[in-house]
Amino acid sequence: MSVSLFVGCGKKVVEDKGAPATIKINGVEIEAKEALARIVMIEMGEGYNVEAVKAQTVVIYTFLKYCATNFEIDGVLISETYNDEVKSAVDAVFGQYLAVKDVVALTPYFA
């Protein structure tokens, strides 16, 4: 299931064929889906609609891809845990990113 929040005017959700297996956060390599779930959890907490969690996941993934970090980031707070709802939402959209005219979109966000 893809997130359909960014359509029209050359904007689209794209499946990343080269999605990473791991993301390095603050020098620690973490399985990629777990890393995204832990970032989403610290930013949003519990109780959000699953579609909001999916959207946040896509925005985070897009931002990491746009910044050309090779999925290595420092200075980021992550949660020690995450719940099943966050894990399911991340699983549903993992590897999806936003593009404008086939170029990774800039998705600055604040959570």
Convert the pLDDT of each residue in 53-103 to its tens digit.
Answer: 999 999 999 999 999 889 999 999 999 999 999 999 999 999 999 999 889
Tens digit of each residue's pLDDT (9 = 90 or more) over 36-58:
999 999 999 999 999 999 999 99
Radius of gyration of the chain (CA): 13
Burial class from Cβ neighbours inside 10 Å (0-12, 13-18, 19+) for residue 97 reads: buried
Q: What end-to-end distance do the CA atoms of the chain give, in Å?
A: 24
Q: What are the Cα distances from residue 100, in Å, to 45, 62, 82?
A: 29, 11, 31
